[in-house]
Amino acid sequence: MIAKIADVEKNFKSDLKKVSQPNELEEIRIKYLSRKGLLTQLFEEFKSLPREEKHKYGQSINELKELLLKSYDEIKSKLESSQAKNETVIDYTLPERKKQIGSKHILIQTLDEIKSIFKGIGFSVYEGPELESDYNNFEALNFPGDHPARDMQDTFFINESFLLRTHTSPVQIRVMQQLKPPIRVIVPGKVYRNEAISAKSYCLFHQVEGLYVDTDVTFTELKGTLVSFAKQLYGSDLKYRFRASFFPFTEPSAEMDIWWQPAGKEGRWLEILGCGMVDPNVLKNVGIDPEKYTGYAFGMGVERMALRKYGIDDIRIFFDNDKRFLTQF
Ligand code: PHE
């Protein structure tokens, strides 16, 4: 009996040394510690010994049991902690998880296209603040104090002298105060109007202003530039027209419409921009001699351009942040 006990102990120890994986340890548990394992067998044999023999072996067999259980537990917890360390093990069989990264908003995409066309014909890009002075937004642009033309643009006033710009035209003033002619810039940006929100108008929208000041700038050049721009954006078969219009800061002034035929609907003219020759009063306000220089300016609505380009008929959808809409582009 003593020899058997020693044997089990010896074999157990040597088996345990070889263990490096949980399944190997499990084999050892079954071999020695399970209900039919070697330890149980020893106990069975022990039970059937005559009384005085039991006395002889009892202690050894109990010591063996303790040793086996203790060593088993030790190895088990060692294996578990080393497994925890290796938890970053990559399982190559898992299906991929698609990363959801954002995309450029359709308005920004349209803006990018507009910018790149104008850069291609020699315009550089400028920006100005959305919080503007009444002076830059109206006064310097030839809207006198209580002139009714101010009603053309319902304004969010901050106080007596500041407001959220109602158009990008105040940046014309900023640019002309800073640069000397020849000036050839476009100014993209957000503008704000206190209007009832509908499918056609929103309290916030985007414009791209254009300004060209030099000697001998003509209305013909203005028209030529805008037509060439629109055809690059919409294709050379674009149908367009210019209508005479009024802006306090340009004279003469016009608006440009493009033909829009949404699928399955009646076609219609869509106004996309206002334009004209920079009014001599505006040049005077920024200290440019109107006898020597002339200029043209235009301001286009980016949402309008995008509506036509992507066949959308409700301006509000640009601002809803609905992923179902945004991910289509
Ligand atoms: N600022 C005008 C508007 O918002 C557009 C415009 C810009 C017209 C430049 C003429 C010249 O309606």
Q: Which domain holds residue 18?
A: 2-88
Q: How far is the CA of 48 from the centre of ligand 1 (A)?
A: 109
* Domain assignment of residue 184, yes or no: yes
Same domain? For 303 and 181 the reply is yes
Site to probe by mutation for ligand 1, drawn from 152, 167, 255 as the one with most ligand atoms within 8 Å of Cβ, is 167
* Domain co-membership, 70 together with 121: no
Q: Is residue 101 part of a domain?
A: no
Residues 246 and 296 in one domain: yes
146 shares its domain with 117: yes
The per-residue pLDDT for 86 is 66
pLDDT at 87: 64
Question: Alpha-carbon distance 106 to 313, whole Å?
Answer: 14
- pLDDT per residue as tens, the chain (329 positions): 788 888 888 988 888 888 888 888 888 888 888 888 888 888 888 888 888 777 778 888 888 888 888 988 888 888 888 777 766 677 888 888 888 788 899 999 999 999 999 999 999 999 999 999 999 999 999 998 777 767 777 899 999 899 999 999 999 999 999 999 999 999 999 999 998 899 888 999 999 999 999 999 999 999 999 999 999 999 999 999 999 999 999 999 999 999 998 778 889 999 999 999 999 999 999 999 999 999 999 999 999 999 988 888 899 999 998 888 888 88
Site residues for ligand 1, CB cut-off 6 Å: 167, 169, 247, 250, 253, 274-276, 297-299
Q: What is the pLDDT of residue 105?
A: 92
Instruction: Express each pLDDT in 133-155 by its tens digit.
Output: 999 999 999 998 777 767 777 89
In the chain, how many domains are there?
2
Atom of ligand 1 nearest to the CA of 299: 7
pLDDT tens digits for range 113-128: 999 999 999 999 999 9
Residue 54 and residue 110 share a domain:
no
| Cα–Cα distance, 24 to 314 (Å, whole number) | 68
Closest CA to 69 of 37, 24, 21, 23: 37
Tokens of 20: 């490096």
29 domain-assigned: yes
Protein residue closest via CA to atom 9 of ligand 1? 298
Nearest to 207 by CA among 224, 223, 231, 186: 186
The verdict on 187 and 274 lying in the same domain is yes
> What residue owns the CA closest to ligand 1's atom 12?
274
**Residue 168 CA, closest ligand 1 atom number:** 1
On whether residue 110 sits in a domain, the answer given is yes
Residue 205 sits in a domain of what CATH number?
A: 3.30.930.10
- CB of 169 closer than 8 Å to CB of 249: yes
CB 100 within 8 A of CB 159: no
Domain shared by 322 and 231, yes or no: yes
Task: Judge if 309 and 239 occupy the same domain.
Answer: yes
Domain finish residue from 61, 88, 115: 88
Could you say which of 53, 88, 123 is where a domain stops? 88
In a domain, 94, yes or no: no
Same domain, residue pair 202 and 321: yes
Structure tokens at 5: 């006990």
Give domain status of residue 93, yes or no. Answer: no
For ligand 1, the distance from its centroid to the CA atom of residue 169, given in whole angstroms, is 6
Are 188 and 287 members of one domain? yes
**Which of 25, 56, 88 lies at the terminal end of a domain, its last residue?**
88
